[in-house]
Structure 1
Amino acid sequence: MADVLGSPEASGVLRVMCLCVVLDGLSQVPAGFLTREFAQGRRMAVDGLNFVLSTAVTLLLAVDGWGAMSFAWGSVVGNVAALIGCCLAAPGTLRFGWDREQARALLKFGLPLAGASMLALGVVNVDTMVVGSALDPLALGFYVLAFNISGWPVRIISEAARRVSFAGFSRLADTPEALAAGFGRALGVVMAATVPLCVLLAALAAPIVELVYGERWLPAARALPWLMALGLVRIGCELAYDCLVAIGRRRSLIGVQGLWLLLLIPALVYGARTGGIVGVAQGHVLVAGAVVVPVFLLALHRGGIRLGTVARACAWPLLGGAVMTAVVLGLERYLGDGVLALLATAAAGTLCYAVCLLPARSLIRGREP
């Protein structure tokens, strides 16, 4: 695997990271219990403990000269802390045993999701394989940095929303009208929170990369605007994914994810050969926007969530994002890219976005204006 990714020296790090898979698997039942009960306060405490310990161990090992391996062992320590924290937060949920009926029910429900999840992992990882094999390691480093930055809104917004979205949609699944209204409200809230982050990271890509990582990483900024568009699409698709699971359309997800991966590979290979890391990012956006989004919309329509519901949820955030983009780009050209100028530009753009979003506040709250 390390050879395919173009970094054979990473094999030792991958071996250590495999421990995280086992530890994370053990914590899934108590973590799932916390999610089902909407116990996000306890879950935040567990995540905070994970973050503090993993970061501390990573920094100590890095200072001691462990290099990339410091990240691996930091992750292992964080996963151990999360496992212990989940068991303490949901006592009695981690019990070992075997129940044939439960196993049969879990396999029936979970196998289609496992297949769809494997394909989804392929979608978000095949690009690094393509870049690593078609381009040089330096290009791979720039691309991975840009992709990681584009994932900031996904981790901040989408992962938080997905902690409760599946449980919430499941409770509404038996009432189509309530489900459609709940999905529209959830999508509106997620889009309203995500769009300004994506606009700032896309419009100010170069100064942000230079400020956070240094001038030598500036080539990564060329791919970042395209990857931010991909990040916005991913957040909407992940929410739709959870909704489709909740209403029992699990098998259709395999088709959606399989089609995404099937079309993505040639698009990324062509993009890498013609445009480098920017071409890869553009290939991602092309496949996601032209194929995957319409397919997800069709699947939601068949599940009782009409296109009008999705359009109403996205219209005002996208309009506000367009206005914010124009303001941010104009101010950056006028004020420059110093730290104070960036803060002023971001604040002004966010204020304009908030003003544009005022007409949608009633819709997001679940009441027609």
Structure 2
Amino acid sequence: MTGSGATGSVTDEHTAPAPPALGRKVGVAARWSLVNTVVMRLGNFATGIILARFFLGPEAWGVYGIAQTVLLVLLSANELGVSLAIVRWEGDPRRFAPTVLTLSALSSCLLYTALFAAAPAVAGVLGSPEASGVLRVMCLCVVIDGVAQVPGGFLTREFAQGKRMIIDGLNFVLSTSVTLLLAFEGWGAMSFAWGAVAGNVVTLIGCRMAAPGTLKFGWDPAQARALLGFGLPLAGASMLALAVVNVDTMVVGATLGNVALGFYVLAFNISGWPVRIISEAARRVAFAGFSRLADSPQALAQGFSRALGVVITGTVPLCVLLAGFAGPAIELIYGSRWAPAAAALPWLMALGLIRIGSELAYDCLVAIGQRRSLFLVQGLWLAALIPVLLAGARLNGIVGASQAHVLVAGGLVVPVFLYALSRGGIGVGRIARACAWPFLGGAVMAAVILGLERRFGDGLPALLATAATALAGYTVCVLPSRGFLRGVDRGERPHRGRRRSPEPARPTRQDTR
């Protein structure tokens, strides 16, 4: 993006990094990000088991779900989308980072002030009046996050995922310690709130130390106009995206009450394990990688299809196993009082798989400047989802709400995302090729699980044997795609003895959409 002269030219002349160097940086960052995400999620998983088994029941979990939903929606747009300029814009980001920090901190403080005043009304509308105090405490994270976005953006821009892993580890240790201590003392859902605040403070301090000199306030009106023009459409699309994922919590809480909401939130959290482990690891490097490839349509299409193939290949077996063993898994891990959550889990696992693909597509469309398309996609998704969720919840409880999610996502949103990607130069054929072998493997896994579970029952040894057999079948199915996933697919190699002519350079595209 090119700023006005008054900004000191926010973007310098574009010089694309050498693909091998970029590939190495992305690869190293992706490995660090994956390790970080897996370790953190395993820690959160263990913490959730302890809290659900020994301290918190479905009603407290429902109150926490309401507060977490509101927090996530606010975090999607608390900095007005301007922090992404640190990652996306070319040139030296330190020139416009002070203006980004001022905008981000100011908007976050105003948003929190409004939430503090409206917390009782918001909690009442969502069917959980007792959540207002938890909302006021937990949403302090909005202010902290608004300040941390700038140093965090510098870490993302430089693919510094090793440093990020250390910061996230410290966040986890402190937030978990505070949460468990307060839960043991009987604080209920409020223990989550203070744990989240403590963890976010650690993240802010860690990001400041890892990216020194980036927390400087400043103001340049021309930069501010350019940043808001860039960020507001992204903030709107991001808020809609988070609303899409979290409006179900609001509907279930208002329609079915806190206890049913507690079961639903647990099932939804379980369905998010693959999303958090695979998708979060990929997204921490994907946006920066797609941004570097945005001016080469062929390279972008290849990079996106390969990234999609990798995340889908890693996600499908997790989704199928959790869907196939929903009942035994929940009773074994969380205890029998959480058994009602199992009925919704298979449908939510299907939604989780769709979310992974849509989130990667979201990052790609942002990188190539398709902000209006994103806004329209997310708006359409939310508008279609709300009435279907209401009908599903009233007709069939938490299972109906889960089915409504899958119906809208698979029947409406996936085709729209495919169309938007095709407009950006990424054809349906590439996407189908990336997903074909994993989907075949998933179908084989499902057939194996259904067949063997009926034959051998649901005892632990039988379940382990069934899971191992299903994974073996999946591995055989995805073996033909290993070259494609490594980026050495024969079909895309140049023939020996002939040089492939380089693609003509395209001029840098201004971000005007």
Q: TM-score range by the shorter chain?
A: over 0.9
Of Structure 1 and Structure 2, which has the larger fraction of its residues in helix? 1
- State the partner residue of 1:92: 213
* Separation (CA, whole Å) in 2 of partners of 1:365 and 1:189: 9
Aligned partner (choices 170, 175, 184) of residue 63 of structure 1: 184
**CA shift digits 1:2-29 (9 cap, x unpaired):** 1222211111111001111111111111
How far is 1:185 from its partner? 0.4
Query: 1:131-150 counterparts in 2 under 5 A?
Result: 131-150=252-271
Partner of residue 324 from structure 1, selected from 414, 433, 445: 445
SS at match of 1:108: helix
> 2:335 is matched by which residue type in structure 1?
G
1:348 and 1:59 map into 2 onto residues whose CA distance is 38
Partner of 1:302: 423
Larger CA deviation: 35-44 vs 350-359: 350-359
Q: How far off its partner does 1:189 sit?
A: 0.4
Is residue 348 of structure 1 aligned with residue 348 of structure 2? no
Residue 273 of structure 1 and its aligned partner are, at CA, apart by 1.6
**Corresponding residue to 1:279 among 400, 403, 420:** 400
Selected match of 2:231 from 93, 97, 110: 110
Task: Using the TM superposition, give the Cα deviation of residue 33 of structure 1 relative to its aligned residue in structure 2, in angstroms.
Answer: 0.8
- The TM-score normalised by the length of structure 1 is 0.97
CA apart distance, 1:98:
1.3
Which deviations, in whole Å up to 9, do the C-alpha atoms of 1:49-85 show, x marking residues without a partner? 1111111111111112211111110111100011111
- Pairing of 1:190-339 with structure 2 (within 5 A): 190-339=311-460
Matched, 1:80 2:208: no
Q: Give secondary structure in 2 for the equivalent of 1:95.
A: coil
Q: How do 1:106-185 and structure 2 match up within 5 A?
A: 106-185=227-306
Q: Give distance in 1, aligned partners of 2:355 and 2:402.
A: 13
Secondary structure at the aligned position of 2:254 is classed as helix
Can you list the C-alpha shifts for 1:181-229, whole angstroms capped at 9, x where unaligned? 0000000000011111111111110011111111111111111100110
AA paired with 1:139?
Answer: A
Query: Following the alignment from structure 1 to structure 2, what is the Cα–Cα distance between the partners of residues 340 and 9?
Result: 43
- The normalised TM-score by structure 2 is 0.70
What is the CA-CA distance between 1:48 and the residue it aligns to?
0.9
2:164 corresponds to which residue?
43
Whether 1:25 and 2:146 are equivalent positions in the alignment is yes
Q: Which residue identity is paired with 2:157?
A: R
Conserved 8 A contact 1:59-1:70: yes
Q: Is the 8 A contact 1:4 1:132 kept in 2?
A: no
The list of structure 1 runs, each at least 4 consecutive aligned residues, that deviate by more than 4 angstroms after superposition, is none
Between the aligned partners of 1:200 and 1:6, the Cα distance in structure 2 is: 33
SS of the residue aligned with 1:174?
Answer: coil
Q: Could you tell me which residue of structure 2 aligns to residue 366 of structure 1? A: 487
**C-alpha distance in 2, partners of 1:311/1:364?**
14
Which stretch of structure 1 is more off in the superposition, 247-256 or 137-146? Answer: 137-146
Q: Which moved more, 1:164-173 or 1:2-11?
A: 2-11
Letter in 1 for 2:143: V
Report SS of the residue matched to 1:151.
helix
Paired residue type of 1:314: C
Asked if the contact 1:158–1:235 (Cα under 8 Å) also holds between the matched residues in 2, the reply is yes
- In 2, distance between residues paired with 1:158 and 1:4? 32
Partners in 2 of 1:118 and 1:109 — Cα distance? 15
Q: CA deviation at 1:159?
A: 1.0
CA distance in 1, matches of 2:169, 2:466: 31
Cα displacement (A) at 1:135:
1.7
Instruction: Write the letter of the residue equivalent to 1:225.
Output: P
Amino acid at match of 1:293: V
SS at match of 1:98: coil
